[in-house]
Structures are given as C-alpha cells and as structure tokens.
Amino acid sequence: MSGQLQICDTTLRDGNHAVAHQLGRADIGAYARAAESAGVDVVEVGHGNGLGASSIQVGIAAISDAEMLRAAKAELRNSRLGVLSIPGFASVERDLKPALDCGVDEVRVGAHCTEADVTRQQITMLRAMGVPVKGMLLMSHMASAKKLVEQARLMQDYGAEAVVLMDSAGAYTPQKVREKVGELVDKLDIAIGFHAHNNLGLSVINSMTAMQSGASIVDVTARGFGAGAGNAPIELVAANLHVEQLETRIRLFGALDAAQTAEERFVKHVPTNDSVTIASGIAGVFSGFAAPVRRASRRFDVDPREILLELGKRRVVAGQEDTIIEVAMQLAAERAPADLPHTSAEHI
C-alpha cells in the first residue's frame, strides 16, 4: 500500500442495494468505463451483499456474479476490479475462485465488527495465492475503538494489507470517526479505510475526517447511490479533495461525469434522507434494512420508525432480516387492544 489516498468506488456493489440488485450488463459496463475515466483506484462490483449473496432472503440479482464481473472487467485498464466476500454468503470454491477467474484484482473480506475470526480462511487462502486482500469490519459503530483494534489486528495477522471500517448504518459522527480511525491508524501496521453511509447526513464530512485522521482508503458511490440514505457521493468527495488539494488519482471532472452517467442510466432516484433512513441512523440499524422495514410497515400497519428503533435495541445486524417481520408483528399485536373500539352494554 502506498501513502497516496486510494478511492474505492462501490457504486456497482453497494449501489445494487438501491435497485434491488437489478443492475444489468450494459449499465455495469457503462459505469465501469466512466469510473475508469474518473481515475478511481478500485471499482467494486457485485450483489449488494457481495459474492454468492443472491438469494430470496436478501434479494435475487438480475445477472450472475460472473456476468457482472466480466462486464466491468472489459472496461477497466488502470482501475482495479474488486469484490466483497462475506463468509456465509461466499464460499472459496463456489464463489471466490470463479471470481478470480473473471479477472478480479483484489478482494475485501468482511465480517461483523466483533467476528473477524470468521475471515481467517479466506484471507489466508487469498494471500497464499498472491491476491491482494483487505479486511472489512461491518457495523463498526457497534464496537469500541479498543475492540476494533483487537479485531483489525486479527485480520492483519491473517495477512490483510488493509482494514476498512464500515459505517453500515450511517451512525458515525465526526468525533467517533476521529476516535476509531485514529486509534486503528496508531495501533496497526497496515492501511486503514472508511466506508460511510449518509443516514445522518454526515457521509462526506465523515469521509474527510477519516482522511484527516490517517485513513488512506475511502469508499464512494456515484450520487451516493447505495443502501438506505446512500453513501458518500464520489462527486462531492472529489470536489472536497480538489479544494483541499489532496493527492489522489481521481480527476474532478471525471468524477462529476461518472456521477452524471450513473444518474442518466440507472439511478432512479438520488438517495436522500427521510424519516426512515434518519431513524435507521439514530438506531444504528444496517442501511440495507430500509426497504424490508418499509414493506413490513405497510403489511402490518405499524410505524417503520418504531420497527427500526426496536431493531436497534435488539442490536440486529445484516443476516437477521427475519427479525424485521417478528418485530413488526409484535408492535402490531401490542397496539391492537388499544385501537379496538370501546364496547358498552348498550351495544351488546
């Protein structure tokens, strides 16, 4: 890892959440070409939950992992093709090795922020094969700086050349970014990165704060295209990098053009903050839960914000989508007696 700031564009992976994982070959190819022109370091591609995640539970992708990866790879020359692998969704033989055969240049192996040990097999295997690999700590707002250092050290020991903190719920504040990123930069010997979500409207300032705190990898998406309220927009991060005169490969006008390409082709609506995504950020609930929470809210006629706050109390994480229905049913049952009309003797 060089000292220069690296920009990872996850539009074609995290952004897939925003369209129910329905990005097709033509859109993937067109955006990969735009990202290449913008000078991003890595273009991460795949189902929103990474390799092997296409399923009824979290959403069936429009095309296979291999089709997505080949469509992007054909357009990349200087930008590297990246994927996310979460053990439990992705397996070595079924998913990782075929992805490498499609021309993947680097893999980010992710796990819940207190479960880094589950990444050992994949990280060590990839490093033994000579594949660049980074660790990703999901829902990192849920762990203390001390715990994150402990977990990141495990990934470092397994062979990861970087660890990225995922603000999966958009729950970070700049103060927490400084505290946690700064602690990892101080205590680890590898590069540290940050992946922001915008539930509290802080994705850009949190990304810039991460850089100021020593992070050398920052994730972005075009127009913030991603789960829930979206991610740090490439065009705004690029603009701030330009203003601050920070050295990267990113080209300002190229980033602006890439964002325009995405909006013209597949961003049906630019992610924004509403009462549901804000409640998700306050509750610290995975941004990808926004859509299923809305569906459960309509089905059981309960306030989606109440569902999110209860999910936050239960510290629910990605992979526990079934809990959304359970909570919605419970809230509906608790409300029902109070909502029934009063019955008096004269109505019997």
Residues involved in catalysis: 17
Signed CA dihedral, 40, 43, 48, 49: sign only: negative
Distance CA 239, CA 307 (A): 37
The b/e string for 59-88 (b: 16+ C-beta within 10 A; e otherwise) is bebbbebeebbbbbbebbeebbbbbbbbbe
Identify whether the C-beta of residue 62 lies closer than 8 Å to the C-beta of residue 28: no
E strands, 151-249, in order? 162-166, 191-195, 217-220
Cβ–Cβ < 8 Å for 83, 107: yes
- Tell me the C-alpha distance between 5 and 154, whole Å: 24
Element (H, E) at 311: helix 304-313
| Cα–Cα distance for residue pair 180/48, rounded to 1 Å | 25
**What is the C-alpha separation between 139 and 195, in angstroms, rounded?**
10
**CB of 217 within 8 A of CB of 137?**
no
In the chain, what is the greatest distance between 2 CA atoms, to the nearest angstrom?
82
> Residue 204's closest CA among 179, 175, 233, 239?
233
Residues 6+ apart with CB under 8 A from 51: 65, 83, 84, 85, 86, 89, 90, 95, 96, 99
Structure tokens at 128: 């033994």
CA dist., res. 106 & res. 97, Å (int): 12
Q: Give the residues across from 301 on adjacent strands.
A: none
